[in-house]
Amino acid sequence: IGVQSFDDACLQQLGRVHDAAQAKQAIAAAKQLGFDHINVDLMHGLPGQTPAMAKADLQQAIDLVPDHLSWYQLTLEPNTLFYSQPPELPVEDDLVDIQEAGQTLLQAAGYQQYEISAWCQAASTAGASNEAKHNLNYWRFGDYLGIGAGAHGKVSVMTDGVLQVTRRVKLRQPKAYMQAIQPLASQQIVATQDLPLEFFMNVLRLREGVEEDLLALRTGLNLSDIEVLAKLRKRGLLEPGRLQATELGWRFLNEVLADFEA
């Protein structure tokens, strides 16, 4: 459920058409309808947001006791109003305070962080996990189909012994999508030299990382093809024997990923 914020002023700045009361009603309705798993999508680092405001926002989400929370910082995406007319955002020190305070709140409420921006309650006594299956597939660089106008998909096919990874985007306008026989807006084969960054910018977001053999399975590349791995492990940023960031590596993940762009 895309709440984004429980602060009506923040929601207006974000251009959302709902208010906090409607968001809470939607969550209550989902519970009444019997959905087994409910995710609340919440942003921080919003224009004019102080650490106290962000903490209060997150506490309201926690008080609703969803079994899953996606809590992430606002980013200014191209082709958006905020990108062309950047608002005044919290300074870096405030963003750090928000992140640290939020982690403390979530952990105290019994949530476990399994991905950079994904938190869930512990598994039930029956052993059922509250981690999002879609999230895990995506961050493990798995394939997925995009169905409907504006949908994104990723498909991997073995061709002449070479694994070919293709990203597809459907036409954005519903009318054009329904009229088209092949409603693709774009289709891009991921170049071999781009696969390491594409793969690691996903799997290293996971707290537990992935097994080393997943690299070959998802990209067709071998560990020996990724020379930067040894350097990152020597610097204490990646765990040995597994494709997983250390605590230090997770803290400076953007810097770690920058090494895969070389």
- Determine contact, residues 211/223, Cβ cutoff 8 Å: no
Measured torsion, CA atoms of residues 192, 195, 197, 203, in degrees rounded to the nearest 10: -160
Q: Domain with 55 in it: what CATH number? A: 3.30.750.200
Residue 34 lies in a domain: yes
Together in a domain, 164 and 261: no
**228 Cβ contact partners less than 8 Å away, ≥ 6 residues apart:** 196, 259, 260, 262
> Residues 91, 22: one domain?
yes
Regarding whether 100 and 16 lie in a shared domain, the answer is yes
86 in the same domain as 30: yes
Residue 163 lies in a domain: yes
- 91-114 residue pLDDT tens: 989 999 999 999 999 999 999 999
- Nearest-angstrom CA–CA distance, 244 and 174: 40
- Give domain status of residue 215, yes or no: yes
**Residue-wise pLDDT tens digits, 221-260:** 999 999 999 999 999 999 999 999 999 999 899 899 999 8
DSSP H helices in the chain: 8-13, 20-32, 51-63, 81-84, 92-108, 133-139, 174-179, 195-203, 214-219, 228-234, 247-251, 253-258
Question: Are 184 and 208 contained in the same domain?
Answer: no
Which 8-state DSSP code applies to residue 152?
E
Q: Does residue 117 sit within a domain?
A: yes
User: Based on the domain organization, do 176 and 204 belong to the same domain?
Assistant: no
For residues 113 and 152, membership in a common domain is answered with: no
Average pLDDT per consecutive 10 residues, the chain (262 residues; last block may be shorter): 95 92 97 94 93 96 96 83 75 92 96 95 74 93 94 92 93 92 89 94 96 95 93 95 94 91 70
Structure tokens given for 53: 């405001």
Which of 173, 190, 207 marks a domain boundary?
A: 190
Residues 238 and 221 in one domain: yes
Q: Centre a 10 Å sphere on the Cβ of residue 44 and count the other Cβ atoms it contains.
A: 24
For the entire predicted model, the pTM comes to 0.85
Let me know whether 111 and 85 are in one domain: yes
100 and 26, same domain (yes or no): yes
Distance, in Å, from the CA atom of 127 to the CA atom of 137, rounded to the nearest integer, reads: 19
Look at residue 125 in the predicted model and tell me its pLDDT: 58
Q: Which of 96, 10, 14 is nearest to 60 (CA)?
A: 10
**Does 186 share its domain with 196?**
no
Its domain, for residue 177, covers 141-190
Q: Output the pLDDT for position 83.
A: 64
Q: Does residue 170 fall inside a structural domain?
A: yes
Asked whether residue 136 is assigned to any structural domain, the reply reads no
Quote the CA–CA distance of 67 and 72 in Å, as a whole number.
17
Residues 102, 58: contact at Cβ < 8 Å? yes
| Any domain includes 23 | yes
Is 86 part of a structural domain of the chain? yes
Pair 175, 197 in one domain: no
173-81-145-143 Cα dihedral, nearest 10 degrees: 160
Q: What's the number of domains the chain is made of?
A: 3
